[in-house]
Structure 1
């Protein structure tokens, strides 16, 4: 967001075992983050995550693994010093 002025659009996918499909939940863009300090941004992002996972908390751990998974040789985003 800070590097390229990207809009932050919260989304969360939930697998529906009965219908054998993913449902994607998309929230409005977080337009209140521009110029905000890091503490405010962290709190707002956490609020959005809480809103999205509350109906389906069993899917939260799955999405964390998905976010951290990288192909061999790909840059590990959590180890970058430029962010």
Structure 2
């Protein structure tokens, strides 16, 4: 999961600010932000995303279960009818 450090810092700041706006206790802000970073990884990192045919598995788990030597070296995202 290679997300640039500056992106992670920015996302954590956004998550912390959102928690503060929601009135969460200051001593819980870091834990809440870390939890939201975990959700961010599940959306932003291909290997952390749910496998479409089995949502209980991530892409990484599927690859490990079915092809030990298989790795993802690149991927492309296509969007149809985007406005």
TM-score calculated relative to the size of structure 1: 0.29
Highest RCO, 1 vs 2 (Cα 8 Å, sep ≥ 6) = 1
Q: Which has the higher helix share?
A: 2
Give me the TM-score of the superposition, normalised by structure 2: 0.29
**Larger proportion of strand:** 1
